[in-house]
Structure 1
Amino acid sequence: MHHQHHLAGMNPPAHRRALRKQNLAVACCLALAFPLAAQAQQAAQPAEQSVETLDAVRVTGIRAAIATAVETKNESTSIVEAISAEDIGKLPDISIADSISRLPGLTMQRVDGRAQVIHIRGMSEQFGGTLLNGREQVSTGGSRGVELDQYPAELINAVTVYKTPDASLVGQGLSGTIDMQSIRPLDIGQRRITFSGQGEYNSLGELIDGSSDTGYRASASYVDQFANDTFGLAVGVARMDSPFQEQQEKAWWWGNPDAWSAPQPGKPADAVARQAGEASLKSREITRDGVMAVLEFKPNDRFHSILDVYYSTFDQDETENSIMWNNDPWWSHPTQGQVRYTNVGTTLVGGVPVVTRGTLNGVGALNMLNETNWREDKLFSAGWANTFGWGDIYTLKSDLSYSRAESTRSMLELQSAFATPRDIDFQLATGKGFNRFSIPGLTDPTQIYLGMDAMGWGRDGRTDIASTEDTLKSGRLELNRLVESSDFLRSYDVGVNVTRRSKDREYVAHYVDLKNGRAPVRLDTVPHGRASMDFIGLGDVPNFNAGELLARYYDLRYEASENDLMKNYGVDEDIRTFYAKANLDMDVTDRVRLRGNVGVQYVRSEQSSTGPTVKRDPVSNDWVIAGGQTIGTSYGDILPSMNLSADFGDGLMLRFAAAKTLMRGPIEQMGAYTTAGVDVTTREWSGGGGNPKLEPYRATAYDLSLEKYFGPTTYAALAVFYKDLETYIYTQNVRWDFTGYDDLGITPISNWGNFSTPVNGSGGYMRGAELSGAVGGDMIHPVLDGFGLLLNASYTESSIDPDGPGGSSTDTLPGLSKVVANATVYYEKHGFSARISQRYRGEYRGEYASLFGDRIYQNTMPESTVDLQVGYDFPDGGRLSGLSVLLQVNNVTNEPYRTETTAGGISETVFLPSDYKEYGRQYLLGFRYKL
């Protein structure tokens, strides 16, 4: 009843409504050439010009950020990438995801037009760990992958991405670990007060009546020190009110039904045709509020205490207008029969004829959908770290942390349609670009009706609401002891970390029907507006607010599917990590210094899940929750690790790392939800569902990195890696022990039976190479002082079939782009700064949220996005001292999002367009003022 009451008023509150691939290749070649030239120049200079002068660098802005990042990479004993506060705050990105997606071996996945999750070394966000100030973070989504667009770039001081773990890194991922860091006020050493604001505009304009194409961003921060610099305070707030627009057109599927003895009238024999289609507009308004606070107390060198608190809310309101139709041969109109083709034209694709133009006559399965969707996320993270030192050789660290995420998402769709079938003229592209259509009467609301179930779905609409609550509590204790008597062992650490994580999901769905079985309602008799579908030739189509019409015209009908009911479950994890690490530092020769660490973790895992047993009611034939169970398991892992860095002097460094790593399986696969039961006749178990006994992905990883540092902002690096995954998770039919499962009152002859569930199967390798570099123009010639380049490219491949042995030969690991590259050209001098960045990622299999809370995979095509940023800092001493102005243009080339799919019913492998979206350019103009 609580859910019904919530759904009956679906309107959210008012405050929540309303340069190409080859260029990068050239750039990467320059990354090699410039450092060589710089090295030749440096050879004639005194030795004190080497990388050791980093501590003396006194540059600001972009170059200061690059120098800090280079120094972090140079001094780390692990293989890392880094960005710093100036890089994030000087010319701000939308979120942390945008900032770190330019780092070597990393790339972002665009969701709803924005960078949301990060893929590290060819693996999706599910394989990466995410920390805030060294503490594991929960997620607002259904699984473990953290959505980084929840974290404003303005509130994060620095980010370090660990590509290799060490024994003291808790919460690490299998592909890598992202550690975001907040500011430390005592490190600043002075008072800082900063304000910033930006106005925003989306180039697609107002696609739907009532939507907005403008927004703003604002932030403020205060940093100060008190009591003779023993107490520090930092507070930052950031708000984003941003419009996101989307134009989409997609094919549901392509195929040759002749192969299944289902000819289509008028279609050339054995030609491939698009069997169903959809076009839509989406307007979103995203409001994100973030607050970060840090209290720091350091009365002496023996005691140090830091309290960090982060809180954010993320609200998204979305209006969608779409039209969809089905023209496959199995759909037949009661009076007009099958859809017929006329005026057909074909195009050869891979030697196969594909229907690309003509007319579909008598399309009866043609639906319009109007949607009102909303999402509310809340994130809270707090940590209290204390450091105690005594005797000059012992340091004891304690750390208590708490992380919590609450997410609620809802969808409401209402259907409308014509009273009679329509003819659709079409002209289709087989590559990049929007298709063109003509549908008579689509712009006339007097010809369109609510309550016309043209698709035969048995409803006039649907609504659902899903909620997720993720909580993580952690405590850590670590002891470090200096060893002064050894020539190679500088110190060692021993510690323990205890974590308790609970993730609960709830889901409820209703069908929507016109009240009291009333006759269809003509659209011109209800409040409506317009939505522009000119981008595919359809003109201004009628649009209405689904939320406003729900209570007036519709009733809710509860009719859950088995899939709906199985989305109600909880997963609990208790993880105890014991670790020891030896920190090494020795002079191998007069010129070679070896640093690093060797250590081991022992991780004891206990996991369980409570979930429903779902079955059909024998009387009503409805799916119901008939019972439930709590199932779990425990296991232990020994994870050794080693990181060694050989410093040969003059900025040349060789790193080697080896480690055993793990990543726990996707949480949505670990639920104890099931349709399993005992057959009343054979009394044998069978069924399918989640696997609360699922064990982690496990891998052995090897890394080698050769790095040369030429100066504060100039370096070159070549890294190679190899990961041997001992196991990968596939859905399989297996013999299963049903001990603990609810038998619903039917006694089985055995606890063993057949079960379809995700299980640990055979693994394979991930391997790749990364080339990266940074070049300061002054290293090449004094006339280039102020100019600079950041360049990187990576290649990754895998032997793993994500569908398991014998699966599809066309599928790849989620998130795996074989080629990823980034290039940034910047200039900063005399207060003026400019930066243009290009990101390229090759084709990959993306994992996305889909209808009704499900996850889907889509073959996502290569994309290259360009961002431009220009700013000016007014000089010190003037009337405008402390003021900066900046212009930012994101997605300069309006790069589309594209997916492809294979055509069915033919022997050849032919890929054809599936999804094509454009999000427009994002313009931001604003200021930053520092006191």
Structure 2
Amino acid sequence: MAPLNKAVKPSFISPSSIHRHAHRHALAIACCLALFGAQPVLAQDAATVPAEQAPAQPDVNTLDAVVVKGIRSSIAKSVETKNESSSIVEAISAEDIGKLPDISIADSISRLPGLATQRVDGRSQVINIRGMSEQFAGTLLNGREQVSTGDSRGVEFDQYPAELINAVTVYKTPDASIVGQGLSGTVDLQTIHPLDLSERRIVFSGQGEYNSLGKLTAGGDHTGYRAAASYVDQFADNTIGVALGIARLDSPFQEEHYKQWWWASGDTTNGWGAPNPQAGKPSDAIALQGSEGWIKSRNLTRDGVMGVLEFKPNDTWHSVLDLYYSKFDQDETMRGTMWSNDPWFANVDAPLDANGNPIPNVDYANVGVSDYRGYPFVTSGTLVGVQPIVRNDNNTREDKLYSAGWNNSFAFDPFTFNVDLNYSRAEREQSTLETYAGLLDPQIVDFEIPLSNRFGHYSLPDLSDPAAVYLWDPQKYGHDGRMEDSKQTDIIKAARFSLNRVVESSDFLRSYDVGVNLNRRSKEKTAQVYFADLKNGRTPTLVDPSLLSSPTSLGFLGMGDVLTYDPRALLGQYYDVNLSESNDDVLKDYIVEEDVKTFYFRANLDMDVSDRIRLRGNAGFQYIRSEQSSTGFNANNGIVAGSQKIDASYGDILPSLNLVADFGDGWMVRFGWAKTLMRAPINYLSAASSASVNQFGEWSGSGGNPKLEPYRANAVDLSFEKYIGDASYVALALFYKQLESYVFQQEITGWDFTDYPNDSGYTPHSNIGSFYTWANGSGGYMRGVELSASLSGELLHPALEGFGAQVNGSYTESSIDPDGPGGSATDTIPGLSKIVANATVYYERHGFSARLSQRYRDKYRGEYSSLFGQRQLRYTLPERQLDMQLSYDFADGSRLHGLSLLFQVNNLNNSPFRTQVSEASGSTGLLLPEEYTEYGRQYMLGFRYEL
């Protein structure tokens, strides 16, 4: 079995079809020589046949006149990959060495049919395939499963520099020989094979970067740069190849953020036991119960290194060693203000009731009420008695990603034996610090609140005066600051052994593959939570001028300036910092281990059904044996009461079938059928739990579930395709997935608490009780349709030579209730946008190229990091982002030949991030504005030079 990025022509093509495809393949090879790592990525289609049995390749030197570079070359290679695959795939190929067609890998992938990116902190980070979140997608690097730097399996693509990735293939239908497949699809990132190039290549590139929001706060920045260099060479009569690449990113990301916390009427809050009605507000009117506004400035630094050593001394032995490393640092500063104005909040002037408890007293004046869909909403007025808190936060993160793979193939006619060893490791160290300050007295705030997602307006008192703004706890959190430090490590060690045999005696079976992959994965996370309390219980002002910076403006919300300082510089001087963890904090510590053995068989099929119809593809199965275990703490009242280790095992047989009917003249029909699975998110498998016995002697608890089995599904795919020339096609794809099981939170009765320590002081009647955890439940269907096209302008008219367009759109729907039977009717499966669409128009001629790309995704529920590191599903509104690229390559006869100039604008339309939240009572069915954040535009100006 060849590695996924091995450049081998499928050997099971029938002799009668070789002549029919020879010209098209010759042209594609000529185009590919201009690309970094010009190899077909579908090694599953390649039978790794000895070179003497492969069809003779034309002499590419005769095709110099048709060699093209740039956008059209990239498209031609991608279309060729899609055309030749036995599966239903989408592909991206670099325009040249270190030159993917977008700023980031995630941006490029998200433009493929049926795929969408989820923005995190303003940048594309994770990929949703066919309406399913990143947790359902498999990610490979050179055909090998990758670890993740996040809490679970979803890979964060911003860890991989675009300059070091040469091509990407997204498999939408399973293949028996792909290990580490996802349920929604599989993304395979590829680096170069240096022996696929015919000569030495040395490339340098650099770009300056600017964010249109400017410098928002002290310590932040709005300018940055990118730099990369690549070296590819061949030695010893092209038997040894070396590729080296390095890329550095120093990039600013800025944001202006506004959030409306939650909406409820007086009737609703009173029904929930609010202590007293709020004066001045109509009881039936729905009002906002809290707000926040801040700016964030992030400095991102990423260093990536890639190396490949390839050795092919003869036709028998082929060895490839590839190494990848990246280090990603993020330093984030957040400054702003927030407050609660709900009927439970009691400010410092709150009177006391008979029991000595403060009586909440945030009231309203001059209230303006607007009708919205038949319900009254408070949209303007004055808040009396609020206590705004000034936040100065600092969050740091360091990620390290290592990946190494060594592949050796040995060809002994008619057999090819392959051994692949790989290692992947991800480390993350993260620290989040928040500190609090504010005026000592309750405040009066005039407000105007929008009922659509946009910035609100608030007139706040001056929150930047160091003589009036004190360090203390205005919102009564119970501490004056909070810091959480966490560390996690994710490791995969794997070995793969496979054998391919060419079959010459059959009219339809051209070869078959058998193999086994042994995979051991371990993910460990630890977290510590600290509370910062002011020394000696004092409420100090910042009297040391050296600790203060220029005030930060929240003028985009009308809030004025806020006090600005470096929170980490204050810790030792003003605060006592002590470890203080709740049950939720203790449950963040866990170890999950998985041993997965994958045995597979695949038959590679190819036959001429008639003079005009060729049928090719593959059929096979995988048997996956999984053993998993987790170790975690049991906690009571934030105190570790013991630990436990829980394990489970299960097995799955996963058949798959991929067929391609080639009718000639570019017409094809593809069919795929398979059983698929995706193991549950790793953090769901944690054995950490909280359990106790109540006063009635009953056990109850909550936590993770190490006995979780995978999501399982049956999938059917059908694709109709017409290929036109070398860079044009039209395709219509239909897909249907029936999920037999889906994982959601459930209350499990009959849970055995025998091994749980009991520190509650109560004696249980039985060791059987109820446990609230993730569990396997009923699933449902995912189904959809995708339409895509890539068209060159000269197809329409010769005058349009150089022009072209790529467009795609998809519609997806699901019957799955992610909350289980009886869940909310408004909750959809995470990552599901019913409509996803992309359009790119380009012009490329005489060295000049221009590209304008727009991507759109419909509303969806996204999964994001939330308060205190938890994960949260949020209703995310539609996004439409426009990007632009302009470049010029100096011609061969120019003294500047080899130099390219590049100008790019990312997020040209300043597309905001917007979320909604349900109205508190749930009876109205309304989704109301929650977050509105703008990130500005990224401008990049740079060059690329090839020696």
Do they fold alike, i.e. is TM over 0.5?
yes
Distance 1:132 1:769 in 2: 28
Distance 1:555 1:610 in 2: 32
Of the three residues 571, 574, 588, the one matched with 1:553 is 574
Aligned to 1:494: 514
Aligned to 1:917: 933
User: Which SS does the other structure have where 2:563 is aligned?
Assistant: strand
Question: What letter matches 2:364 in structure 1?
Answer: Y
**Higher RCO by CA contacts (8 Å cutoff, separation 6 or greater):** 1
Give 1:748 deviation, angstroms: 6.5
Of the three residues 438, 444, 452, the one matched with 1:417 is 438
Query: Aligned pair in 2 of structure 1 residues 191, 88: CA closer, same or farther (>3 Å)?
Result: closer
Q: Are the equivalent residues in 1 in contact too, given 2:462–2:561 (CA < 8 A)?
A: no
TM-score (norm 2): 0.90
Of the three residues 530, 533, 539, the one matched with 1:513 is 533
Distance 2:899 2:27 in 1: 30
Distance 1:103 1:703 in 2: 17
Matches within 5 A, 1:243-282: 243-261=252-270, 262=274, 263-282=277-296
Give 1:751 deviation, angstroms: 4.8
User: Which SS does the other structure have where 2:580 is aligned?
Assistant: coil
Q: Are the equivalent residues in 2 in contact too, given 1:51–1:650 (CA < 8 A)?
A: no
Query: Aligned pair in 2 of structure 1 residues 96, 109: CA closer, same or farther (>3 Å)?
Result: same
Aligned to 2:392: 370
Of the three residues 614, 617, 623, the one matched with 1:596 is 617
> More displaced, 633-642 or 453-462?
453-462
Distance 2:921 2:864 in 1: 27
> More displaced, 887-896 or 46-55?
46-55
Q: Are the equivalent residues in 2 in contact too, given 1:51–1:651 (CA < 8 A)?
A: no
Distance 1:304 1:805 in 2: 54
Distance 1:877 1:747 in 2: 90
Aligned to 1:389: 411
Superposed CA deviations along residues 775-817 of structure 1, whole A, max 9, x for unmatched, are 0111111111111000000011110111111011111111110
Q: Are the equivalent residues in 1 in contact too, given 2:100–2:163 (CA < 8 A)?
A: no
Distance 1:371 1:568 in 2: 24
Q: Does 2:653 align with 1:638? A: yes
Matches within 5 A, 1:823-842: 823-842=839-858
Give 1:141 deviation, angstroms: 0.4
Aligned to 2:701: 687
Distance 1:854 1:172 in 2: 27
Q: Does 2:480 align with 1:457? A: no
Give 1:736 deviation, angstroms: 4.1
Give 1:742 deviation, angstroms: 3.0
Give 1:54 deviation, angstroms: 4.2
Superposed CA deviations along residues 624-673 of structure 1, whole A, max 9, x for unmatched, are 10101110100000000000000000000000000000000011110001
Aligned to 1:29: none
User: Which SS does the other structure have where 1:446 is aligned?
Assistant: coil
Q: In the comparison of the two structures, how many residue pairs are matched?
A: 876
Q: Does 2:756 align with 1:742? A: yes
Superposed CA deviations along residues 858-884 of structure 1, whole A, max 9, x for unmatched, are 100001000000000011132101000
Structure 2 residues not aligned, in runs of 5+: 1-19, 32-66, 351-359
Superposed CA deviations along residues 903-930 of structure 1, whole A, max 9, x for unmatched, are 1236322221100000000000000000
Matches within 5 A, 1:9-88: 54-55=28-29, 58-86=67-95
Aligned to 1:709: 723
> More displaced, 909-918 or 119-128?
909-918
Aligned to 1:401: 422
Distance 2:849 2:702 in 1: 58
Aligned to 2:883: 867
Question: What letter matches 1:470 in structure 2?
Answer: D
Question: What letter matches 1:703 in structure 2?
Answer: D
Matches within 5 A, 1:409-488: 409-451=430-472, 453-488=473-508
Q: Does 2:295 align with 1:286? A: no
> More displaced, 81-90 or 538-547?
81-90
TM-score (norm 1): 0.92
Question: What letter matches 2:923 in structure 1?
Answer: S
Superposed CA deviations along residues 697-748 of structure 1, whole A, max 9, x for unmatched, are 0000000000000111110000010000000011111124437733348997
Query: Aligned pair in 2 of structure 1 residues 523, 918: CA closer, same or farther (>3 Å)?
Result: farther
Superposed CA deviations along residues 499-522 of structure 1, whole A, max 9, x for unmatched, are 000000000001001112233325
Aligned to 1:7: none
Query: Aligned pair in 2 of structure 1 residues 596, 370: CA closer, same or farther (>3 Å)?
Result: same
Query: Aligned pair in 2 of structure 1 residues 781, 90: CA closer, same or farther (>3 Å)?
Result: farther
Give 1:550 deviation, angstroms: 1.0
> More displaced, 431-440 or 70-79?
431-440
Q: Does 2:671 align with 1:656? A: yes
User: Which SS does the other structure have where 1:66 is aligned?
Assistant: helix
Matches within 5 A, 1:808-827: 808-827=824-843
Q: Are the equivalent residues in 2 in contact too, given 1:240–1:288 (CA < 8 A)?
A: yes
Superposed CA deviations along residues 536-595 of structure 1, whole A, max 9, x for unmatched, are 112232211101111111110222110000111100000000000100000111100001
User: Which SS does the other structure have where 1:828 is aligned?
Assistant: strand
Question: What letter matches 1:327 in structure 2?
Answer: N
Question: What letter matches 1:376 in structure 2?
Answer: E
Question: What letter matches 1:329 in structure 2?
Answer: P
Give 1:56 deviation, angstroms: 5.8
Distance 1:267 1:519 in 2: 33
Q: Are the equivalent residues in 1 in contact too, given 2:97–2:230 (CA < 8 A)?
A: no
Superposed CA deviations along residues 44-81 of structure 1, whole A, max 9, x for unmatched, are xx999989964565221110000000000000000000
Between the aligned residues of both structures, percent identity stands at: 60
Of the three residues 337, 341, 344, the one matched with 2:364 is 341
Give 1:750 deviation, angstroms: 5.2
Aligned to 2:355: none
Q: Are the equivalent residues in 2 in contact too, given 1:294–1:306 (CA < 8 A)?
A: yes
Question: What letter matches 1:566 in structure 2?
Answer: L
Q: Aligned-pair RMSD on alpha carbons?
A: 1.8
Query: Aligned pair in 2 of structure 1 residues 481, 751: CA closer, same or farther (>3 Å)?
Result: farther
Q: Are the equivalent residues in 2 in contact too, given 1:448–1:523 (CA < 8 A)?
A: no
Query: Aligned pair in 2 of structure 1 residues 748, 459: CA closer, same or farther (>3 Å)?
Result: closer
Q: Does 2:689 align with 1:674? A: yes
User: Which SS does the other structure have where 2:920 is aligned?
Assistant: coil
Q: Are the equivalent residues in 1 in contact too, given 2:264–2:919 (CA < 8 A)?
A: yes
Query: Aligned pair in 2 of structure 1 residues 82, 655: CA closer, same or farther (>3 Å)?
Result: same
> More displaced, 399-408 or 686-695?
686-695
Distance 2:97 2:194 in 1: 17
Q: Are the equivalent residues in 1 in contact too, given 2:438–2:463 (CA < 8 A)?
A: no
Aligned to 1:231: 240
Query: Aligned pair in 2 of structure 1 residues 719, 88: CA closer, same or farther (>3 Å)?
Result: farther
Give 1:368 deviation, angstroms: 1.0
Q: Are the equivalent residues in 2 in contact too, given 1:92–1:153 (CA < 8 A)?
A: no
Q: Does 2:746 align with 1:729? A: no
Superposed CA deviations along residues 102-161 of structure 1, whole A, max 9, x for unmatched, are 111111000010000000000000000000000000000000000000000000010000
User: Which SS does the other structure have where 1:86 is aligned?
Assistant: coil
User: Which SS does the other structure have where 1:130 is aligned?
Assistant: strand
> More displaced, 533-542 or 872-881?
533-542
Question: What letter matches 1:481 in structure 2?
Answer: R
Q: Does 2:780 align with 1:768? A: no
Distance 1:830 1:454 in 2: 64
User: Which SS does the other structure have where 1:98 is aligned?
Assistant: helix
Question: What letter matches 1:387 in structure 2?
Answer: S
Aligned to 2:639: 624
Question: What letter matches 1:805 in structure 2?
Answer: P
Question: What letter matches 2:403 in structure 1?
Answer: S
Question: What letter matches 1:178 in structure 2?
Answer: V
Aligned to 2:34: none
Give 1:679 deviation, angstroms: 5.8
Distance 2:764 2:718 in 1: 55
Aligned to 2:335: 321
Distance 2:370 2:537 in 1: 47
Distance 1:517 1:91 in 2: 56
